[in-house]
Chain A
């Protein structure tokens, strides 16, 4: 086999993937780097060079900070909860119980459901006349509004997100649990540690690398939330910007404010944030096991 022939073979095998990636990933990236220095009015088809002005505009925009605040809250609340629930459930399923296959299958359903169907189901659950509101009313006698209340609208998206990501992370934890040497549990058992103690002294520390991975993926996921916020608020990010996420803000800049330059600059900021988070993970995990 000559090097030339290998070269031809290699590139032929890679060609379809490369062509698509170049046209639909590389070109847009280069285009983004160029566009973020312009004021682009797509409707009128005009472009003016503005330098770093788009960034100045973004940082002075209360909507950007609202999105920042929402995402911050989101990360602080959603990530710990989903990580904990996923870990505990994985540990329970991993203990020798019957029907764990059945449990696993049932719990996996939310992950299969598209975000649009899921959002609609949750909008109906938390609708002002829906199951949850009526349930709270019959239990506590007060009518709590969710979707129309700026303090609680984001909570609905949070619950939904936890609901649909827990199964996925649970599986990740499950595969991590398989790798813990049984010897450690036997040793702990001889030392007189009960099951609960074993969980805290053996399982949790042993799962640390996996936990770290799950947390990071959770954070990255939180930064990318779009579908749920878009559907719930009908694209507005309301009430009072409480459901405005980074990605929804990018969408609005592009199509509602008709300002593609600002939108790409904003996307670039988001990209840097996510890139840094992902980069840290990849440094910690083996490069071969990278996942999107």
Chain B
């Protein structure tokens, strides 16, 4: 029995370690590649760089890459703030304020959440272009500043949120808005953080919207910039440049992940959507 258990344990560890390695290899390989010279990459066959070179990173920083990072950061932050405030407000209203038409709005949102973004992709382009927002970062901000998934998540949260806190606040003479901003929001910190992380990640990693809406290279978001850059360098086998770009584009999310690790794993139960 004991022996069998040991074999089982070893098998479990082996599988986990193997899969863990399998996960890490592509990333390690791309990191190593980013430090090679183009000549070494063309020749192929080496695993570790013969000579550590920073050419790839230099090329990246001389291109418009830093601008794209800035664009992505600005837009992602703006969208995150708007999402957290407005989704939470909407979720709160759906959970806590018994106003007329609430049920209808809820059903409507439920319907919209089931419509895939591809259906509206082309007409959305025309709407955006009629508003004169093509090639402006507002096109991405407006189309991503609300996320129905998180409205529902917050509604769920507020349904389970104890009422007595609010009632006490109301007795203290705070208005509904005052209560919401001073009492309710601080208490919902964990949910807000979860929402913020995933919204930020979603916008940071978004590819199709920038591809459709943004056409000037100085306004590119990082994902489309990376793609454009790669097309330029692929023919010259300058994979060191492309990999350097890919690595840099992952770093911000990675930092957030390390710092806020606990929210990531917890929130996945609540938002089991997929990309």
Interface residues of A (CB under 8 A from B): 3, 6-7, 9-11, 13-14, 16-18, 20-21, 23-29, 31-32, 35, 42, 85, 88-89, 92-93, 95, 97, 103-110, 112-117, 120-125, 127, 129, 131, 134, 163-165, 168-169, 171-172, 175, 194-196, 213-214, 217-218, 220-221, 223-224, 226-227, 230-231, 234, 246-247, 250-251, 254, 260, 263-264, 267-268, 270-271, 274-275, 278-279, 282, 287-292
Q: How many A-B residue pairs have CB under 8 A?
A: 286
A129 engages B44 (CB within 8 Å) = yes
State whether the Cβ of B171 lies closer than 8 Å to any Cβ in chain A.
no
Measured between beta carbons, the chain A residues less than 8 angstroms from B176 are: 9
Choose, from B49-57, B59-67, B188-196, B200-208, the stretch at the interface. Answer: B200-208
B127 engages A172 (CB within 8 Å) = no
B20 engages A10 (CB within 8 Å) = no
Question: What is the interface residue range for chain B against chain A?
Answer: 35 or more
Which B residue sits closest to A168, measured CB to CB?
B274
- The contact of A250 among B12, B118, B254, by CB within 8 Å, is B118
A234 engages B226 (CB within 8 Å) = no
* Known contacts A6-B97, A28-B127; is-contact A112 B253 (Cβ 8 Å): yes
* Known contacts A9-B176, A95-B12, A234-B231; is-contact A114 B30 (Cβ 8 Å): no
Other A-B pairs, 17, CB within 8 Å; known A27-B127, A288-B152: A14-B94, A24-B142, A28-B120, A97-B9, A97-B12, A105-B261, A108-B265, A112-B250, A117-B247, A121-B29, A127-B239, A171-B269, A224-B117, A230-B211, A278-B114, A287-B110, A292-B113
Main secondary structure of the interface of A (DSSP, over half): helix
A104 engages B265 (CB within 8 Å) = yes
Q: From residue 248 to 263 of chain B, which have CB atoms closer than 8 A to chain A? A: 249-250, 253-254, 257, 261
User: Within the assembled complex, what's the spacing in Å between the Cα atoms of A103 and B22?
Assistant: 12
Measured between beta carbons, the chain B residues less than 8 angstroms from A169 are: 274
State whether the Cβ of B3 lies closer than 8 Å to any Cβ in chain A.
no
Main secondary structure of the interface of B (DSSP, over half): helix
B243 engages A275 (CB within 8 Å) = no
State whether the Cβ of B105 lies closer than 8 Å to any Cβ in chain A.
yes
Measured between beta carbons, the chain B residues less than 8 angstroms from A227 are: 207-208, 223
Which B residue sits closest to A98, measured CB to CB?
B13
User: Within the assembled complex, what's the spacing in Å between the Cα atoms of A41 and B8?
Assistant: 64
Measured between beta carbons, the chain B residues less than 8 angstroms from A23 are: 127, 142
Measured between beta carbons, the chain A residues less than 8 angstroms from B257 are: 108, 112
